């Protein structure tokens, strides 16, 4: 297996799951900003020019949610089987994680990547911060009194795990004790620690918190 990867990106979801599963995997690293995600060679692997993509068994899979589902089917681990009681919840939380990640990505663009800074839109930052808070309140309600998203640890937790540091860069942690406790549990897992060590650090955030500027 070969994982096409960028430090600080959604490919941490896949690295973490691979570590949980005890699978071997090579890593091919790219930069988000040097144009290497737009070369014909990379677009042949991932047509939207996005990370992650996984080469496996002579195929290439792109979209982190699809990779997660594929790996759980391949190994029979970390997901309830189709037509069993928690299958619907599993699929829902896998895709919820990506809905939330898209809001985080928009906030990263507003606060960090967009140049010149005068091109940034404060109303859009405010809107996306509120949209992020809606997803966090939903997660907080779901996690209250639970250890994991489902009745036991699953690949849905790996999908969501990537979001857990980023969300608190834009919304303060006060009011989210269940998410904070869940984050501590997730990040204490040895497989998460191994994945983080292989992932190559955080290439995005220079600050702990990004305030929406006053208008
Ligand atoms: N829905 C896709 C999103 C992938 C995505 O946007 N990845 C980011 C890194 S986290 C990326 O490749 N960004 C580069 C770009 O937008 O050009 C997935 O879950 O794999």
Residues 195, 79, 160: CA angle, nearest 5 degrees = 50
Report whether 126 contacts 170 (CB < 8 A): no
* Integer Cα distance of 79 and 205 in angstroms: 31
Clarify whether residues 71 and 152 are in a common domain: no
Are 62 and 96 part of one and the same domain? Answer: no
**At residue 215, does pLDDT exceed 80?**
no
pLDDT-derived band at 201, boundaries 50, 70, 90:
confident
Task: DSSP for 154-198, please give it.
Answer: -HHHHHHHTHHHHHTTTS-STT-HHHHHHHHHHHTSHHHHHHHHH
Asked if 42 and 95 sit in the same domain, the reply is no
> What is the 8-class DSSP label of residue 112?
I
pLDDT at 144: 97
Q: How far is the CA of 72 from the centre of ligand 1 (A)?
A: 21
Is the CB of 63 inside a 6 Å radius of any atom of ligand 1? yes
- What is the average per-residue pLDDT within 129-135? 98
**Do 25 and 103 share a domain, yes or no?**
no
Contacts of residue 41, Cβ cutoff 8 Å, sequence gap at least 6: none
Mutate to test the pocket of ligand 1, among 51, 71, 102 (most ligand atoms within 8 A of CB): 51
What average pLDDT is seen over the chain?
96
CATH number of the CATH domain containing 181: 1.20.1050.10
> pLDDT value at position 192?
97
Would you say the CB of residue 202 lies under 6 angstroms from ligand 1? no
Does residue 27 have its Cβ closer than 6 Å to ligand 1? no
Supply the DSSP string of 136-166, one letter for each residue: HHHHHHHHTT-SSSSSS--HHHHHHHTHHHH
Q: What is the pLDDT of residue 117?
A: 87
Helix axes 190-199, 11-21, angle to 10 degrees: 130
Residue 52 has pLDDT above 90, yes or no: yes
């Amino acid at each position: 297996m070969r994982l096409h990867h960028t430090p600080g990106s959604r490919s941490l979801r896949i690295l973490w799951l691979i570590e949980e599963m005890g699978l071997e995997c090579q890593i091919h690293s790219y930069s988000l900003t040097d144009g290497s995600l737009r070369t014909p060679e990379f677009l042949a692997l991932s047509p939207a020019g996005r990370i992650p993509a996984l080469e496996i068994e002579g195929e290439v899979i792109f979209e982190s949610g699809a990779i997660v589902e594929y790996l759980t089917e391949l190994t029979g681990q970390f997901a309830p089987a189709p037509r069993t009681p928690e299958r619907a919840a599993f699929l829902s939380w896998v895709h919820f994680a990506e809905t939330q990640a898209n809001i985080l990505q928009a906030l990263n663009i507003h606060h960090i990547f967009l140049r010149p800074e005068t091109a940034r839109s404060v109303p859009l930052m405010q809107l996306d911060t509120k949209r992020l808070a809606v997803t966090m309140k939903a997660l907080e309600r779901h996690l209250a009194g639970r250890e994991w998203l489902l009745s036991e640890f699953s690949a849905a937790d790996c999908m969501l795990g990537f979001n857990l540091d980023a969300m608190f860069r834009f919304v303060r942690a006060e009011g989210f004790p269940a998410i904070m406790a869940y984050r501590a549990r997730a990040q204490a897992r040895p497989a998460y620690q191994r994945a983080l060590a292989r992932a190559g650090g955080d290439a995005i955030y220079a600050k702990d918190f990004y305030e929406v500027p006053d208008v």
